[in-house]
Chain A
Amino acid sequence: MTTEAPAPETPPAPEKPPAKAKEESFLNLFLHNLWSANTVTVTILSIFLALVIGAVLIVISDPTVLSTFSYLTSRPSDALTASWDLVSQAYADLFKGAIFDPAAVRAWIDGSGDWKTALNPLSETLTYAAPLVFTGLSVAIAFRGGLFNIGGQGQAVIGTITAGVAGFAIALPAGLHLLVALAAGLIGGALWGFVPGLLKARTGAHEVITTIMLNYVATLFLGWLILQSGVQDPGRTDAVSKTIASSAVLPALPQPLRVHLGIVIAVLVTAAVAWMINRSSFGFELRAVGVNPPAAKTAGMSVGRTYILLMVVAGGLAGLGGAVQVLGTADRLTGQVAGNIGFDGLLVALLGRNKPWGTFFAAILYGALRAGGNLMQVDVGVSLELVTVLQALIVIFIAAPALVKTIFHLRNARSARLGTTMAKGW
């Protein structure tokens, strides 16, 4: 292609707030801070930048639109309208699939459609978001203690196994059965987190390596387990387990809505984790260890014990995410039951800046992108992988506030709170 990279949406020129105003009225203060590198502005601009780059990708990967660029100089309007139509349709679908479809809402109001269709996009968003809240919290809490838990995937897989097996192998009254299955997922994940924690504390084995390896081990174990008699569905020859008993399934809204109680549990767990990090003595210890292990040791804390406990908690959270996935969204174990929730949890935590409620809302955003991406794929044929690109780009820009600041010529924020506490190197 000889033309320059097409950018259907150009970044808006920075709106210069009146700088001459001497008196700091609220409006002035607001406008002044609006274009500074504060958390909210950077987050919104990051999402915007990601969408712009995504638009470029959509255009350059579409042969028919791309062909209109071959005569860009003679009839530029063709190329521009074709690009604009494609991109705007894709992003409109992203919105319709994630939040609401105006047509469906109008139909609901004038009585020709029902409320379920109108609420379906939101239901999908929350369904995808629910397990991500747990895996995101798992990564976030480990980060706060200075550990890099890449093992969320393996812990979630083990969580799906223990919760799933508890869901179909034992018979208990409704309600109690659900609690037992959720607890099984929690314990399974916690055990899978305990191993790298113990190895880290006792032998110094780096948790990044051990958790990555345990991810593979967990996935392989799942692949073996679902083919065993007693686990595999007797009526099937492929790798599918028995169906989970209805007494262990998370209650959901009526069909076709899929959103289930998992999102409510997610809210409660987020509140609990927020309390644990900020208010409990364990939270204080883990933050102290995360900031400066030698200092924490000098102050009388046991760094090793904190690491072990932290990994148990992180593993338990990821295991609970796996349990919510299998008891809420899937109704049986398959090889892919946990999908990618563990790895997505990493990004959710990064996007949420490792804060519990930040992680919660980041998970909602990711769920929305995923739900919208499905519609986009079906409707315009833009691959769901675009959502992966968008998710990655958003996190890159969020993690590099200096980059966003340079691109948009943002002011310095009044308080420099954009730095994030991360695991330091190795």
Chain B
Amino acid sequence: MSGVSTATVEDLTESSAPERFWNRQRRLGAALVIIGLIAAVVFGSLAESAPARFTLSEDAQGAALSINGQFGAILFGIVTVAAGAALLAGVARRWQTTLLSIGIVTFVFSFLCWQVAGKFLPLVDTLSGSLELALPLILGALAGVLGERSGVVNVAIEGQFLMGAFGAALVGTLATSVWAGLISAVIGGVIIAALLAVLAIRFLVDQVVVGIVLNLLALGITGFLYERLMQPDALKYNSPPRLPEWRVPGLADIPVIGPVLFDTNLLVWLALALVVVIHLALTRTRWGLRTRAVGEHPTAADTVGIRVRGLRYLNVLLGGVVAGAGGAYFTLVSTGAFNKNMTAGAGFIALAALIFGRWTPFGALGAALFFGFAQKLANYLSAVGSPVPNQFLNMLPYLATIVAVAGLVGRVRAPAADGVPYVKS
């Protein structure tokens, strides 16, 4: 049952036949060969034979990686085919992930060569834009990791975002301090997290249900207060200061990486640092071991004296801190004002990133960056006038997620006790 996963529809029919020959690796290989052929033939023939420039600076001038669009589309398509063929030929299992990544990345390159041929793609802008769009997703998914590794499903990320964004805007404006805003964003996230924790752990309510309803509660409360307070007097209640951009001297001058990572706001560093910290904490510390024990087998954890409910409370509240900080992104970084339902489903995307990333911090980071990149690419392509209609470009991140979840991830395994309340007998 495990490992049944496919990437394309053509392949799907094969998976129903119980042939052992078509194991996961071969099916992925076949899928890569097919999309590689599509890339080489379709993208290659559609692409203009003009240079596609990937500029290192913000604009068309300056140093750039340049390649003939048509040649690039075909070349990268062929590399995808080669990666797929290697998988089909049955290389050693340890190469599987590497080859799969190469295949997917070169497919994206082939697509880019087709679209960018005769135009230019500013690399710095694309990368920093992807990172910024991924920022709330990273923080939201990390909040999910904290809760779910200890066995509490957190569907309320969206609600924590909203409360965080609202708290940051309101208090940030009243106190005219961005730091006060950031702290109240955290408090906003923790309020929803506390409700989630009490209802799920103490009152044993179905956790997915609580999450959905808390999202709605946060939407209602913030929307209500927005209309009563912020809309009539935006200057007094809804004009928070923005988070400053800090430039690290020296490091910021590294081409491409520098401006993206070292000339940015605090939240980006916080998010990236948290990925590492939570990963290390989960795998290397006593807290992490206990969290995983509680998430996988609470009864056993209880038997050796771990306080199951206490640890779950702690982790859900920590998740609220992280998700609340993610909410601050929307008001203190992105737009600079609160608006009704401004998160627009980002919490659910973060949830998808969490599952896509298999409940691990680095997996969540990768999934969030993938999503941010797809969204940024859609924005870019609609800005340069792609022949594909705007709405279809905007579907790209969502469709990519479906393909990824259905084809690449397959049957993921959540922590065993995820969503199961612990009742001491």
Contact = CB atoms under 8 A, between A and B. Distances in A.
Interface stretch (A29-37, A68-76, A185-193, A384-392): A384-392
A243 to B, nearest CB: 23
B149 to A, nearest CB: 13
Contacts of B6: 202-203
Nearest to B412: A206
A20 B392 CA distance: 71
B356 A209 contact: yes
Interface stretch (A254-262, A320-328, A417-425): A417-425
Given A221-B391, A402-B204, A420-B206, A388 B219 contact: yes
A17 interface: no
Interface in B376-425: 389-392, 394-395, 398-399, 401-402, 405-407, 409-412, 414, 418-420
A424 B419 contact: yes
A426 B356 CA distance: 13
A216 interface: yes
B405 to A, nearest CB: 5
A346 interface: yes
A423 B209 CA distance: 9
Interface string A142-155: 00000010100000
Interface in B339-367: 340, 345, 348-349, 351-352, 355-356
Contacts of A61: 224-225, 228-229
A214 interface: yes
B57 interface: no
- B interface, by DSSP: helix, strand, loop or mixed? helix
B212 interface: yes
Contacts of B272: none
Given A209-B355, A389-B224, A396-B210, A220 B394 contact: yes
A399 interface: yes
Q: Which of B392, B395, B414 has the most chain A CB within a 10 Å cutoff?
A: B395
Contact of A62 (B227, B228, B390, B392): B228
Given A62-B228, A210-B405, A426-B153, A399 B206 contact: yes
A206 B351 CA distance: 12
B224 A347 contact: no
A347 B220 CA distance: 13
A396 B352 CA distance: 24
A203 B205 contact: no
Contact of A425 (B153, B224, B399): B153
A386 B382 CA distance: 38
Contact of B213 (A209, A213, A395): A395
Contacts of A205: 402, 405-406, 409-410
A208 interface: yes
Contact of A385 (B207, B227, B399): B227
A330 interface: no
B407 A203 contact: yes
Contacts of A209: 351-352, 355-356, 401-402, 405
Contacts of A420: 206
A331 B420 CA distance: 46
Interface string B280-295: 0000000000000000
Contacts of B412: 204, 206
Given A213-B401, A388-B223, A400-B199, A422 B209 contact: yes
Interface of B: 1, 4-6, 12, 15-16, 153, 199, 203-210, 212-214, 216-217, 219-221, 223-229, 340, 345, 348-349, 351-352, 355-356, 389-392, 394-395, 398-399, 401-402, 405-407, 409-412, 414, 418-420
13 contacts: A57-B221, A199-B406, A203-B6, A205-B402, A209-B356, A213-B402, A217-B398, A385-B227, A391-B216, A392-B219, A393-B217, A403-B203, A426-B419
